[in-house]
Amino acid sequence: MPRVSRNCPRRRVLHDRRIAGSRANIDHIVIAPAGVWVIDAKRYKGKRPTLQVEGGLIRPRRESLRIGGRDGTHLVDGVATQVERVGSAIVDPAVKVTGVLCFLEADWPLIGGDFKVDGIQVVWPRLLVERITSAIAAPIDVDDVHRRLAETFPRHA
């Protein structure tokens, strides 16, 4: 996965963090001036992530994630839960928290291919780094948010 430099004065990264009261972990948390990214990295070599939409006009719209034709929506739900926990730890509602499923070695199309499922971004590594580094928003105190998240989510042993 391309790196968002951990030593960049404007970005901080936490890797493999424990979630209290759970056996689950958060793969990566990136804290940047534009907000916080909660990233779940998945390796599905040669499989294509796609968005499936059902309903919309008459029935309620329902989005789901498909990976190589199989349902992967449980992955979206997992990231959404992580985003909730990180948002609660930050406390400040002005800090934007973005959930991301980043698929490594997936079968992405040559043009386009990224999408959102229920607000969770589904991308490949280079696009994710580009989005993090180019995002513009009201600056946050990166060091303060980093410190708070590092205390709330200790390193996974």
Model confidence over 43-84: pLDDT tens digits? 999 999 999 998 878 888 899 999 999 999 999 999 999 999
Number of domains observed in the structure of the chain: 1
Mean pLDDT is lowest, of 8-12, 107-111, 135-139, 143-147, for 8-12
Asked which of 5-9, 38-42, 91-95 is least confident by mean pLDDT, the reply is 5-9
| Domain extent for 65 | 12-152
Report if residue 2 sits inside a domain: no
pLDDT of 7: 47
Specify if 125 maps to a domain: yes
> Does some domain include residue 118?
yes
**Does the residue 136 lie in any domain?**
yes
Please report whether residue 16 resides in a domain.
yes
C-alpha to C-alpha distance for 65 and 99, rounded to whole angstroms? 14
pTM equals 0.89
* Residues ≥6 apart with Cβ < 8 Å to 137: 33, 34, 35, 96
Looking at the domain assignment, is residue 62 inside a domain? yes
> Would residue 112 count as lying in a domain?
yes
Query: Which tokens hold the place of 23?
Result: 């056996």
